[in-house]
């Protein structure tokens, strides 16, 4: 499924809970964030520790269990865990031994958010069909 309007683009990732890595930068023509849906098989780790120059990362665990390494700290994560990591944070992630770890990763430039929804939202004078 794909649909595009003046101010939006809709694409389908297929089965969000099923295997592999989906990088949405090109598909959505993103200009302010990098978004990917990722899966590590049971017992598998990202094969390197990394940091970023400018981007913070947010990880949202969708399914499974695993471990994070950040700046020497190691801790467990599970479905529902959400982790934000500063650019300089040395990080790595590993799936637990009992099954795959499925997560969304969002990268965006640290300190770039000027307004958030509460201060950035603007009401507009239109209504969707379900408001009738």
pLDDT at residue 92 greater than cutoff 80: yes
- Select the more confidently predicted residue: 36 or 82: 82
pLDDT at residue 115 greater than cutoff 90: no
Classify residue 97: in a domain, yes or no: yes
CATH code: domain of residue 8: 2.60.120.10
The whole-angstrom distance between residue 89's C-alpha and the CA centroid of its chain comes to 17
H or E element, residue 9: strand 8-11
Cα→Cα distances 14→19, 20, 33, Å: 10, 11, 21
Q: Which domain holds residue 69?
A: 2-112
Confidence (pLDDT) at 23: 82
Classify residue 121: in a domain, yes or no: no
Classify residue 66: in a domain, yes or no: yes
Spatial contact of 93 and 68, defined as CB atoms under 8 Å apart: yes
Confidence (pLDDT) at 39: 93
User: CA-to-CA distance for 46 and 131, rounded, in angstroms?
Assistant: 46
Q: How confident is the model at residue 28 (pLDDT cuts 50, 70, 90)?
A: confident
Joined together, the tokens standing for residue 39 give 């899966």
- Rounded mean pLDDT, 115-125: 77
User: CA-to-CA distance for 65 and 53, rounded, in angstroms?
Assistant: 28
How many structural domains comprise the chain? Answer: 1
Classify residue 93: in a domain, yes or no: yes
DSSP 80: T
Average pLDDT, the chain: 89
pLDDT at residue 21 greater than cutoff 90: no
pTM, whole model, 2 decimals?
Answer: 0.86
Classify residue 123: in a domain, yes or no: no
Confidence (pLDDT) at 106: 94
- Rounded mean pLDDT, 28-42: 89
* Residues found in the chain: 132
């Amino acid at each position: 499924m794909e649909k595009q309007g003046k101010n939006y683009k809709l694409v389908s990732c297929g089965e969000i809970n099923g295997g592999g890595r989906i990088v949405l930068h090109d598909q959505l023509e993103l200009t302010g964030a990098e978004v990917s849906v990722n899966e590590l098989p049971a017992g598998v780790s990202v094969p390197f520790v990394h940091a970023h120059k400018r981007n913070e990362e947010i990880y949202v665990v969708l399914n499974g269990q695993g471990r994070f390494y950040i700046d020497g700290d190691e801790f467990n994560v599970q479905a529902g865990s959400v982790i934000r990591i500063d650019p300089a944070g040395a990080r790595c992630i590993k799936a637990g031994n009992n099954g795959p770890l499925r997560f969304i990763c969002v990268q965006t430039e640290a300190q770039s958010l000027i307004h958030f929804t509460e201060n950035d939202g603007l009401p507009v004078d239109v209504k969707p069909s379900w408001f009738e």
